[in-house]
Structures are given as structure tokens and as C-alpha cells.
A and B are shown apart, each in its own frame.
Chain A
Amino acid sequence: MTSEPETLNLFEPEIETEKPDEITVRKIIEAVLFTAGEPVNYSKLAQAAGVSEEEIKNTAEEMAPEYLDRGIRLLCFEDGAQLCTAGEFAAEVKKALGITKTLTLSRSALEVLAIIAYNQPATRTYVEQVRGIDSGYSINQLVSCGMIEIRGRLDAPGKPNLYGTTEMFLRLFGISSLGELPPLDVIK
């Protein structure tokens, strides 16, 4: 295989290795994503594979549709990619593995999530202003299940937390970047 350096020069460890061909890059991407489970940044993949970040991103985006007739999916986000199962087989996966619990979102939680998704980073006060009702419980639940995260603090009295959505949110809602969310005035 051309991508493997034939000899290893111990005195010059930084020796230019031959650039891996595209098939190898694809294999590397898949291997890393499988091991990680979590989203992996394109930059890390690029570093490991020895190709540019852009090339990794392009390759990953090319690979994604190839998974459509399989049980797993390759998700491409803005900064990274992730492997996960195809959502339509959740029931079978759960049955086979004896998973009884399901992640459910209450209507209140969905409202909070929607407000934060469209207005992030947003404070709890903002969420409550839009909903007209106390939302601390839902916010905490969403944080603890990993759908939203604290992004920092607003430079205002009390330094309230700012919340934003996570990549888990993108995965579970089938979105690859926040820009994909339809504008609010378009949803009908």
C-alpha cells in the first residue's frame, strides 16, 4: 500500500509521510468515529490522517449518504462528525439490548428547547419571558440529559448562565447545523 512509509527513519520522526489516498482517509474517518462514539472534530481527524481539514470534511460529507442503506449513520456537523444508529430502528435496538428507558421530552421541555435553539445563547430569564412561566425545572432537566449546555455567563447583574444547544440536540433532531433550523416565520 502506497500510504504506508516503507522505512521508519528514527532520526527524523517528522519525515513527510506520503499523503493517504481517499479510500484510506475514508477508512481512517470510520475507524476513529467508531471508536469515539461522540462527535470528533474535523481538525483532529485531519491531524491524524495527515490531510487537510477541508479534505476530511468533504470526504465525511461524501461518505454520509452511503450509510443511508445501513443501520448506522454518519452525521456531519459544522465542526465534526459522528457515527450513530439509524433512528428508525430504535425499537429493535432497545428490544435486542433490553433497554426499557426512553428519552422523552415533555411539552414544557420542548418549548424551552425551541426557545433556546432559536435564540441561543439565552438566559433562563429570557426563556421564562417568552413562555410566561417558570422554566427552571425544564432547563435543568435539559442540561442534565445533555440537550443544552451552559455556554457562559451574561455580563449583567447576577451573571446569569447562558444556555445553548449541544451536538446531541442536533443528532436527536436530525439537524446538522443550527443554520438548518427553518426560520421561525417560515414554519407553518
Chain B
Amino acid sequence: MDNNHGVRTAEDSSPLYSVGDFSGPLDVLLSLVEKDKIDIADIPIALILDQYLEYLELRQALDMDIAGEFIEMASTLLLIKSRMLLPKKEKEEEEDPRAELARRLLEYKQIKLAVEYLGERFEMFGGRFAKEPTNTFEPEPKESDVKLGLHTVIMLESAFRRIWNRFGGDEEELLKSGEASVRVVNRSYYPLNAKIIGLMRLLYKCGEMTFEELMLTSRTRSELVAAFTAILELLKAGRFVISVIPGEEGEKLIFRLDLTHRRNRIKEEEDGGIDE
């Protein structure tokens, strides 16, 4: 295969998916067959098996991992070889033990040709950018909405500090309200993913919540850290909108979901390649 697809990537170097330049055992076999211009329907199994094993040994010598599928193919070849050694019964028309392999190789060969074709097409047309839908019907932003910036960081940090200190000061008490075992048992880190999903669901249900309300869904310090990180992540990803309302006890930070955010947007080119 020529290189003009620009497709040699991380995935190919991953032993799980490919050994060396080959994308699978069929690819290795096909190249062995094609190298010697062998008719796929009449493969000299013994010869190909030897070459195939040689290839695997070479890989092993180079200290490269060999995926299970490669070993499986070796055993398939061995099985075919041994079947071919068995004397044929004269009357019954037995299928050539190589038939199944030949069929698979042919099928794979066609796919390789299709890959070549598609690769060329992708070279030509892969740079076609389409724009995201123009969001004409964005809900009116509120006056109190703030853009993310240094000042939001400072506000968030001080708000976090207030809660953190409260938590630290009488953590015992906060924990007493929960099960007593929480403190002892719950030593593990609270998973961030769970918190992100949890907070999004909560906001989806409630519409708007203050920073305190969001944070105090947590019962441990670890969960508190997860909640704060989750809020930061969601703000960064544009899923949350933050709005500031001045109040008697300082500014109130109010969060809501950005409903204009297209959750399942198809990732476009600039969002990253397939091998990232």
C-alpha cells in the first residue's frame, strides 16, 4: 500500500491492532501470497505457513507483541496443512481445505482495494469543511451572565475557599448527618465523571442552582474536590453558563445549563483526528 493516504498513525503502532506495517494476519498472508504472485485459489500452504511463521518469529525477535489473532491464523494454517496431508477419500468430493481461507483472502483483498480507492478520495475531499449551524435562535443571554475570565476564576476560587473552610471546620458534623461509616470507608477518590454527569442532571432538572447548592451535593472532601473540578470542566466545555447576582452576603454565583450547546454534535475536522 502506498503512503499517500497519510494514514500511518498511532493506532498502527499499537500492538493490539496491528503488527508492524500490517493491519492484521490476513494482511500479512495476502502480502506473502502477492509477493510470490501466487494464485489465491491454489496456495501452497506449507510454503506460506513457513513464511508466515518466519514473519512472526521476526516480530518476536524484534520484541514486538503479537496479537492473538496472528497466532490464531498460524494455527488455522497448520490445520489446513495437516488436512491436506490426509489421504483423500476417492468417492466423496471433499472441499479443498484451503477454500475458506481463499475466500477470506479474496474478500480481504477487495477491501484493500476499496481502502486504496477511499484513501484517494479522502485525499481529494477530506478537506471539505462544513460549518456548524448558525445559531439564530439562541435564548437571550441574561444581563447577569458573565464571560469566563480572570474575574470568574477569582470569584470561583473564593467561593470554593469559603465552602472548603466550612467543610474543613466541622467536617465531623457534616459527616455525622450521613452514615458514620462514610468517613472510615469512603477513602477512595470520588470519580469526576460521575460528578459531571450528576451535576448536569441536577441542573437539567432544577434549571438554576447556586454555587453553594451545587457544591453541597458533596458529602466528603474528595467529592467536594470532584464537584469543583466538574464545575470548572463544565464551564470550560461551555456546558454551563455562569451568572452573577449581587447580594447582601456578597455575589451569588448562579449556574444553568447552556441549552444551545449541542451535546451530541458530530465532531468536525478541527476537533481532532481519529487517531487522537
**Chain A residues with a Cβ under 8 A of chain B:** 34-38, 73, 82-91, 93, 99, 101-111, 113-115, 117-118, 130-135, 137-138, 141-142, 144-147, 166, 168, 171-175, 182, 184-185, 187-188
Contact = CB atoms under 8 A, between A and B. Distances in A.
A173 to B, nearest CB: 4
A115 B69 CA distance: 19
Given A115-B111, A184-B110, A171 B26 contact: no
Contacts of B180: none
A147 B144 CA distance: 40
Given A93-B127, A146-B267, A184-B114, A35 B16 contact: no
5 contacts: A107-B115, A111-B115, A132-B24, A166-B266, A188-B113
Interface in B94-125: 104, 107-108, 110-119, 121-122, 124-125
Contacts of B268: 146
Contacts of A132: 24-26, 69, 73, 104, 108
B114 A117 contact: yes
B124 A133 contact: no
Contact of A133 (B67, B129, B136): B67
Interface in B193-226: none
A35 B269 contact: no
A101 B274 CA distance: 10
Interface of B: 1, 5-12, 14, 16-18, 23-26, 67, 69, 73, 104, 107-108, 110-119, 121-122, 124-134, 136, 266-276
A145 B265 CA distance: 10
Nearest to A172: B126
Given A85-B128, A134-B17, A137-B17, A111 B111 contact: yes
Contacts of B130: 37-38, 82-85, 168, 171
B69 A133 contact: yes
Contacts of A34: 134
Nearest to A97: B270
A114 B115 contact: yes
Contact of A108 (B17, B117, B128, B269): B17
B273 A103 contact: yes
B47 to A, nearest CB: 20
Given A38-B130, A132-B24, A172 B7 contact: no
Contacts of A102: 269, 273
Contacts of A99: 269-270
Contacts of A135: 17
Kindly list the 6 A-B residue pairs having the minimum CB-CB distance in the complex, ordered from nearest: A90-B127, A146-B266, A133-B24, A174-B125, A37-B131, A114-B114
Given A35-B136, A133-B24, A109 B11 contact: yes
Contacts of B113: 184, 187-188
Contact of B5 (A105, A145, A166): A105
- Greatest chain A CB density within 10 A among B73, B129, B268, B269 is at B129
A175 B9 CA distance: 25
A8 B107 CA distance: 63
B122 A134 contact: no
- Greatest chain B CB density within 10 A among A85, A133, A172 is at A133
A38 B135 CA distance: 12
